Structure 1
Amino acid sequence: MSDPIPPLITLEEHFIAPGLFSELSDIYGEQLKHVPDVAARLQDVGPLRLSDMDTNRVALQIVSHAPGLGPRPPALSRLANDTLAGAVRDNPSRLAGFAVLPMADPEAAAAELRRCVRELGFVGALVDAHVDGTHYDDRRFWPVFVAAAELDVPIYLHPTFPSEGQLPTYEGNYDPGAARNLGSSGFGWHQETGLGVLKLFAAGLFDAVPGLKIIIGHFGEMLPFMMERVEKLSIRWGARERNWRQVWEENIWITTSGVWGLAPMACVLKNTRIDHVLYSVDYPFEKNENGLAWVRQLRDSGMVTPEELEKIAYRNAEELLRVRAPVVATESKP
């Protein structure tokens, strides 16, 4: 008989503030008109979301605004964060917040991060992986990472849509819809996010801010598969106080968001600390029930012990974010 599934904490779970839905129609309008249920769930941070969590053993969601606000005026990030703070106040045992930051204005972004952590009680930030194609190795962005380290909260680097300059990279002798998907969830999102982390390492950010905590989703945005090659070749990138492997083990956490397979997990377990692997879903773009089915598959595979499954499910998130999963009813053993 299988062990019961532990309570789950998820970290890459999104909403769009109702007051900003039209503002972001340029990037979400075409996508969401085909999936109206997702549009409705994005705008709900209340009963609909909580009911879905209850059904699928999600004890606590760390909620963040959907991508796209990074290049836009700081006032929009503030509005989104204030909206989320209200939802968290209404359900403090079930919801916590990651701030969205106006990364195009790094000083404003750092100030907003401080406000969200100190005044709103948020547990970190989730930001677009680049701003209009510019990654954060540029030192003008570093005050944001310094602020995160001073506050002792993580920054979650999340994929975002390609800039106008990046779009031609994904165009070719195929349908424009294929190009759009290759540039986003089909491949480009993950490539650009993984590359952004490597550029932070190459630029020396982790030496300059040794206490920095970075989270990336989708089983590490391709980096675990490339781990040994990057470790070998990054010696050509210049002298570092710590090598790539040390930074990976000490400064980077990864989540399972939206990748429901055991093959990527097998790779992760070979080269990533189990203490740095966290469960996530990518709700509502991904379904909580698909994530729960994957957790059951992982449990039954024998790849992890019951204690390791608990770490992935919720204990690692509790330690990293200083949150607690509320008590949930024990799942009956299938």
Structure 2
Amino acid sequence: MKIITVEEHFDTPANIKQFNAYSEVKNNNPHQDMLNATLTDFAKHIDYMDQYGIDMQVISDAGNSPQVLPDNLVVEACRAQNESLAEAVAKYPDRLAGLAVVPINLPDEAAKELERAVTKLNLKGGIISGTVDGQFLDDPKFEPIFAMAEKLDVPLYLHPGVIKDEQKAILYDSKAYSPALATFMGGAAWGWHMEQGVQMVRLIISGLLEKYPNLKLISGHWGEFVPMFLERLSEFLPFSGLDLPHSFEYYYKKNVYVTPSGMYSDPQLQMVLTEMGADHLMYSEDFPYIERKENVQGFMTKADLSEKDREQFAHGTAEKLFKL
């Protein structure tokens, strides 16, 4: 079966060095040196794909994203990262496609870099990691980025990012368990997914998708909790004065595409499939942070899907959305 995974990651030695020098949140992954060796070596991506039956990866920088760098460095850092990605895609054009990282805190520059990355470097969209130093993307200042994505007809992948220390202290630090567990609770286990779900909800209720009706957004980890609450949000938000011509779930089902990010759980698949339909589902592994190996093919093959939906989930939606 043809497999395209769409939330797969890379990095460069130069960006890792800058990220470590400037990021307020240090990378505490105990396997980071091993991960860096894979992130920075595109041949290792190809070897892994060959071994486990993956036809194509759509790759991006989301773990050590240059978007956290100071404003005086971030534009050039994003340009360099995107050029490195474009070189790899050009070397393996039938196996790799890419999403651009952009200097989010400088929205006009971010829009320019997205345009350059798509029109000059042949990248297929953009990726944004979490909030921008605590700023949610519904702030009107970020609109130029979304306007450019709609103009170019390319999607934006809204990936989680590290939450602010203040959020972690209030929501996850506890006298009942260790600081290490609090860090995981505030991060990959729960916190950054919850924040990214809030991000998506805020964007929709801000009216962004009414203003930019052809904008396409992607959400990993089965939608970062949001698909479970589509009906609830649609029912209750109007009571608070939400004045949009359509319901919350209308915008979500029309404009948002969902991937599993390696969370290969059949109950979650069935719930999101029921809400979204296979034409809004894409496959992803989150390589190399997660390596499901044989289960990349195994989960897709065994999932309770019609053959039409299986092909759509495995590669069809990605081919259409990214114009592969």
| TM-score normalised by L of structure 1 | 0.90
Identify the residue that residue 11 of structure 2 maps to in structure 1: 16
In structure 1, what is the equivalent of residue 243 of structure 2? 239
Secondary structure at the aligned position of 1:160 is classed as coil
Question: With CA pairs under 8 Å and 6+ residues apart, which has the higher RCO, 1 or 2?
Answer: 1
**What's the offset of the Cα at 1:288?**
4.3
Q: Which has the higher helix share?
A: 2
Task: Tell me, yes or no, if structure 1 residue 311 matches structure 2 residue 306.
Answer: no
- In the TM superposition, residue 295 of structure 1 has moved relative to its aligned partner by 4.6
Counterpart residue number, 2:253: 249
Q: CA offsets, 1:75-120, max 9 Å, x none?
A: 1111111111111111111111100011111111101000000100
CA distance in 2, matches of 1:30, 1:245: 37
- Look up the match of 1:85: 86
- Please tell me whether the aligned partners of residues 56 and 288 of structure 1 are also in contact (alpha carbons under 8 angstroms): no
Q: By how many angstroms is 1:248 displaced?
A: 1.5
Cα deviations by residue, 1:199-243 (Å, 9 ceiling, x for unpaired): 001111011111110000011111112222112112235111221
Q: Which moved more, 1:210-219 or 1:168-177?
A: 168-177
2:39 to 31, 39, 42: 42
User: 2:8·2:58 contact (CA, 8 Å) conserved in 1?
Assistant: yes
Does the CA-based 8 Å contact 1:231-1:244 persist in structure 2? yes
Tell me whether 1:182 sits opposite 2:185 in the alignment: yes
The correspondence for 1:275, drawn from 276, 279, 291, is 279
Q: From the superposition, tell whether residues 53 and 298 of structure 1 become closer, same or farther in structure 2 (CA, over 3 Å).
A: closer
Which moved further from structure 2: 36-45 or 136-145? 36-45
Q: Which runs of 5+ in 2 are unaligned?
A: none
Determine the C-alpha separation between the residues in 2 that align with 1:216 and 1:262.
18
1:200 matches 2:195: no
Q: Distance in 2 between matches of 1:211 and 1:129?
A: 22
Aligned to 2:289: 285
Q: Distance in 2 between matches of 1:294 and 1:43?
A: 22
| Structure 1 alignment gaps of length 5 or more | 1-5, 324-334
Cα 1:298–1:50, aligned 2, differ >3 Å: closer, same or farther?
Answer: closer
Q: Once superposed, what is the RMSD of the aligned Cα atoms?
A: 1.5
How many residues end up aligned between the 2 structures?
313
Taking the aligned partners of 2:319 and 2:134, their CA distance within structure 1 comes to 33
What's the offset of the Cα at 1:294? 5.4
Identity of aligned residues (%): 31
Aligned to 1:122: 123
Deviates more, 1:127-136 or 1:230-239: 230-239
Mean Cα deviation higher: 306-315 or 71-80: 71-80
Deviations 1:259-283 (A, max 9, x none): 1211211211221121000000101
